[in-house]
Every structure is written in structure tokens, then in C-alpha cells.
Amino acid sequence: MSNSNIRVRFAPSPTGPLHIGGVRTALYNYLFAKKMGGTFILRIEDTDQGRYVPGAEEYIIDSLRWCGLLPVEGPGFGGEYGPYRQSERKDIYGEYAVQLVKNGKAYYAFDTSEELDAKREAEKAKGNHNFRYDNATRNEMKNSLTLSGEETQKRLAAGEPYTIRLKIPVDETVTFTDLVRGEVSFETNELDDKVLLKADGMPTYHLANIVDDHLMKITHVIRGEEWLPSSAHHILLYRAFGWEATMPQFAHLPLILKPVGNGKLSKRDGAKFNMPVFPLAWEAEAAEDSFSGFREFGFLPEATINFLAFLGWNPGTEQEIFSLEELSAAFSIEKIGKAGARFDYDKAKWFNQQYIHAADPQQLKELVRPLMAAKGYEVSDEFLVSYCELMKDRVVLLTDFIDEGQYFFTGVSSFDDQNIAKRWSPEVKTSFESLTGIIEQATDFDAASLEAAVKSFINDNGLKMGTIFPLLRIALAGTMKGPDVFKMIELLGKADTVGRLQKAVKYFDNI
RNA sequence: GGCCCGUUCGUCUAGGGGUUAGGACGCCGCCCUUUCACGGCGGAAACACGGGUUCAAUUCCCGUACGGGCUACCA
């Protein structure tokens, strides 16, 4: 499958639906792997038992599948480095944590969450807002550094709850080169002694991540910017394990920001701006926790991917429409931007429009068919293909195929009264009825022949196109908008067309 | 508050010591047209600010402002 040693992973936490920023992270990992001939891996980081949400893992995989970003290795995908679900690797982490303690790189801590919370509150009351469990404060805490070896062993033997914390060195500067940001530095005196192993025996993200990335031979860690501050801890962990030589390279992605206002894009913004912020719909008990997705809004996966790819990256050329394959070929980490990117829903729609315009009507038919079925509209494949051909230039979302041409399937439900009143008169009515007759008697029922027949009728009777055409259109569609009138007539067929015209005349008379 | 990261049109961005600062979305106008679209053409619209460095800075450096992230036994 791969012809290089490049291995990247997308490592989401199954705590709910995968938001669109997560999809972009997956995309960049995927593109980088493809570009380099490497391997794209999915790893499920379910070490927080409290936040685990059933169905979330399935949702993640469904989303990746919809986007066309399937991993080569991962839960359900096989691979030599499994299991790929961290909850199934629980036993591994404890041993590594203990190894660190033995090497003096980590220590047992007996302070409970409650005690630490109380400590923070107490410090805050004294005006110290940044209490940290770190190399300055750990000597005041209950841990294997302050307790005698005997006491520590006694507590462990007694089954007293404990965590294992990373012993951050004093007075060092941790510097590394981020592939997106360049050189980044942190002072170890500013770093806290992160918990590596929790009291429930589960590892924290920090431990599990480093151990798994090492064991799975990950070469590049491409993740969101929210991880930048803890990267120093991760570097220190690689050093503590003696794995620095094979440490992966880091690339921290800029975040996706709200369309307006401050902060990063949140699930709330979907409802607020009537736009999707998840790839697929997510059903939860509470309505406010249920969401529609890009798919349900009528986006093509290719367009969604194309849009996402350009949120924080661009190829440096003026080409904007890229297939997944083209993106893979053009992708490079150096072209990733550093600043956060605002989510631009108009641009997302534009991408989708471009893909619909370029799509084959046969293909559109397949995509529109389920939407039709949901509405209870039943038409033949042939009709639907022609309809898609007719409408695709005036559609932005797949759902517009339903909304914009509803009258094709349901008949006209409301007429544009204002425009009827402007043109309708007894004289026009007479002409209109004659015109209906001409259409009824037409032998060649194709758009070109119909147009010729109607135009010669208009000319022969000294009528105005500007009067007849709009009325014809409104009679058939109810609105002034829509595709070519004669193509509409051809698609509707003689019986339907004549029926609509007769019905319209009655209605027009009553305006 | 502390730490880290960032800052080119409203938005996504290209560019980079000397450019008429380019493209796209959106917006406006014109053309095409039986309508709406599509398409074509054109327009308004940006280097956050202050100091350096330099013959020259939007581009390099330092500050400031602003924005973002992190600051849990969550990821």
C-alpha cells in the first residue's frame, strides 16, 4: 500500500459528532500521506470513560467514508500495529508509566482531584491565580518525591488511589521546529507536571499519544493548534523514554474561526447561522444536541473537501477546484497558513455550485433521487435526468433541486399574482387560449419545434413576446424564475402542459 | 492573570526589500437573455500601529495594539 515510511494518524476522541475542523485535520493528514506515498491511520482516543459517547466512533468512520478519507489502518480496517482503540491498549500504558517512574522521569502522586481543587481555590483566595502542580510546587505535595520510599510503597500496597506525573526538569528551554510555525520554545519552569496515568488506570492523552505514536511508528503529527502548548510536554516525554531519535515531526494547524464574532467555530454556530458545522447529521436525545450536516444541507462530499482544504491551505496557484487526487498531488505542509481561518459559508456554497455545474446529470440523478423519495415525489429516471440537466445551472445545493423546481413534481401551488395582473387582459386571454391549442396540436413535442411554433404564432398575430412568454412561464411554474420555457414544456409533456395552461387561465381570470 | 501562536481587501488568500500589491467568495455596474440562473466584461475594496535596520520596507528586527489557543486525573 505504501512506498515510504511516512505514517500519519488522525486521532479523534469519540465524545460526540466529529466537527468540521476535525474533518479538516483528517483531510490534511490524508493528503500528506497520499502525497508522500505514506500510510494514513485512524486511532480512536477513548481514554476518557466519562466523556465517551456511544455511536461517536461509528459517526467518525461514516464521516470519513462520506468524505472519501478512509484510513489504511484503524479499528475495522486492519493493520499491524493494532489495536487502534486506546481503551483496548490500556495495559500497555501503565507499564510505560511505571518505567518512567523507575527512571526518575516521573513520580507517583497521591493528591486527589478534590484536594487539588481545594488547593487551587485556596491559592486563588490568596491572590495567586496560577497555581500549578510543577517543579516549584511538587515539593509541597503528596507524592513519591516528598514521601519516603517506604511510605510510598505502603500507600501503593494499600491500594490508595494515585496518579503518575511527569517530572518536568528545572531551568531548561524546550525548542522544536514546527512544520507550520517554525521554531517554537517553552521554558520548563512554565510547564506543569502533567498527569500521565490517571487514578482509574487509564492514561491521559499525553501518555497514550506518545506511546502509541511511537509504537505505531508515526512520523508526522498533524493536529490542531490547541495542542501547541502541550507539545513541550510531548517532546519531554519522548526524551524521558529515550525515543527522541525517532520522534515524529509536528505540524500544528490553524483553527477554524466563527464566521463573525470572536472565537473558534462551535457547534452552536450551525444553528445560529443556519449552516452545517458537521459533515453528517447527528441525532441526540436533546434537540439542541442534534445537528444536520453538510450532507443533509445538500453538499457534495467532493465540494465539502475542496472547501475545507482551502480553509488554511492553498496551492499557491490560482486554481481552486481540486479533486481529492489533485489535492493530494498539490498538497504540502509548507503551504499551510499560520493564522486562524474564518469559516466562510458563502464560499462553501460556491464550491458546491461549481461541482454541481460540472456534474453529469446521470450522476446528479442518483444524488437527487433520495431527496425526492423523502418528499414522496415519484418520477422516472429519464425525467429526473432531464430535470437535473435543466436545473443544474440554477442550483447551489442538492436540496435546491427539490426546492427550486418543486412545481415540476407537485404542480403550481402559488402564482406570481403581481406579474399576472400586469399582463393579463381579455385580449391576451384569447391569444393565450389559441396558444394552448397550438401546443395541444403540436406533433413534434421538442423544445425547438415548440419554440418555432409559438414564436410564429406570436408574430403572425402581432403579439408581444414580453407579454406571452412571462404568462406562459407563470402558468407552468407559478413564478418568473426558471429554465427555458420550451424545455420546461418538453419535459412536462403535452398532457401536463395543457392541463396547467387551462388551470392557469381560470386562475388568471380571478386576479 | 501567565505561557505560546498569529495579524495583506468584509472573508479565504498569493506575494515578498524597489509590484499599477494578484486571484477567489461576497457586493455593485454593464453585456448576454422571454424570466431566473449560468457565462463574459468592468468596479469599489487590504499590507494593524509605532520604532528601528536599509539608498529603499507591506516584506527583516523590536515593541504596542488586536485576535487566537492553552492554562483539568478532557481530549
- What is the ipTM metric for this complex? 0.95
Which nucleotide is nearest to A486 if distance is taken from CA to C1'? B34
Q: Kindly give, in sequence order, each residue whose CB lies less than 8 Å from that of residue A497, ignoring residues fewer than 6 positions away.
A: A439, A476, A489
| Options A267, A272, A347, A455, the catalytic residue | A267
Q: Write the single-letter amino acid at A339.
A: A
Please give the Cα distance from A384 to A365 (Å, whole number).
6
Which nucleotide is nearest to A337 if distance is taken from CA to C1'? B13
Q: Is A403 strand, coil or helix? A: helix
Which nucleotide is nearest to A310 if distance is taken from CA to C1'? B12
What pLDDT is attached to residue A1?
47
From the CB of residue A510, how many other CB atoms can be counted at a distance below 10 Å? Answer: 7
Write down the pTM of the prediction.
0.95
The answer to whether A129 CB sits below 7 Å from nucleic acid chain B is yes
Of chain A residues 258-317, which have a beta carbon within 7 Å of strand B? 262-264, 310-314, 316
Of chain A residues 342-361, which have a beta carbon within 7 Å of strand B? 342, 344, 346-347, 349-350, 353, 357
Angle at A351 between CA A392 and CA A22, to 5 degrees: 130
Instruction: Name the H helices within A376-464.
Output: 381-391, 400-403, 406-410, 417-423, 426-441, 447-460
Please give the Cα distance from A389 to A397 (Å, whole number).
15
Cα four-point dihedral sign A323, A326, A331, A337:
negative
Which nucleotide is nearest to A256 if distance is taken from CA to C1'? B68
Candidates A374, A444, A452, A378; CA nearest to A410 is A378
Q: Kindly give, in sequence order, each residue whose CB lies less than 8 Å from that of residue A393, ignoring residues fewer than 6 positions away.
A: A357
Cα four-point dihedral sign A506, A509, A510, A511:
positive
Please give the Cα distance from A221 to A223 (Å, whole number).
6
Tens digits of pLDDT across chain A (511 residues):
455 899 999 999 999 999 999 999 999 999 999 999 999 999 999 999 999 999 999 999 999 999 999 999 999 999 999 899 999 999 999 999 999 999 999 999 999 999 999 999 998 888 887 899 999 999 999 999 999 999 999 999 999 999 999 999 999 999 999 999 999 999 999 999 999 999 999 999 999 999 999 999 999 999 999 999 999 999 999 999 999 999 999 999 999 999 998 999 999 999 999 999 999 999 999 999 999 999 999 999 999 999 999 999 999 999 999 999 999 999 999 999 999 999 999 999 999 999 999 999 999 999 999 999 999 999 999 999 999 999 999 999 999 999 999 999 999 999 999 999 989 999 999 999 999 999 999 888 999 999 999 999 999 998 888 889 999 999 999 999 999 999 999 999 999 999 999 999 999 998 8
Residues in chain A: 511
Angle at A208 between CA A204 and CA A214, to 5 degrees: 155
Where residue A134 falls (left for φ over 0; alpha for ψ -120 to 50; beta otherwise) is beta
CA A233 to C1' B28, whole Å: 53
Using CA atoms in the order A260, A261, A266, A268, what is the torsion angle rounded to 10 degrees? Answer: -80
CA A316 to C1' B56, whole Å: 27
What pLDDT is attached to residue A511?
80
Q: Where are the beta strands (DSSP E) in A212-359?
A: 220-224, 249-253, 256-257, 341-342
The answer to whether A112 CB sits below 7 Å from nucleic acid chain B is yes
Q: Are A204 and A196 in contact (CB under 8 A)?
A: yes
The answer to whether A496 CB sits below 7 Å from nucleic acid chain B is no
Please give the Cα distance from A202 to A197 (Å, whole number).
6
Candidates A203, A187, A248; CA nearest to A222 is A248
First to last CA, chain A: 69
| A267 is known as an active-site residue | yes
Q: Is A342 strand, coil or helix? A: strand
- Protein footprint on strand B: which nucleotides are under 7 Å from a CB? 1-8, 10-15, 22-26, 34-39, 67-75
Beta partners for A224?
A253
When computed from its CA atoms, the radius of gyration of chain A, rounded to whole angstroms, is 32
Q: Is A73 strand, coil or helix? A: strand
Candidates A332, A406, A333; CA nearest to A368 is A406
Q: Are A509 and A500 in contact (CB under 8 A)?
A: no
CA A257 to C1' B58, whole Å: 25
Which nucleotide is nearest to A178 if distance is taken from CA to C1'? B5
The answer to whether A458 CB sits below 7 Å from nucleic acid chain B is no
Angle at A441 between CA A440 and CA A445, to 5 degrees: 80
Provide the CA A460 distance to its chain's centre, in angstroms: 58
From the CB of residue A50, how many other CB atoms can be counted at a distance below 10 Å? Answer: 6
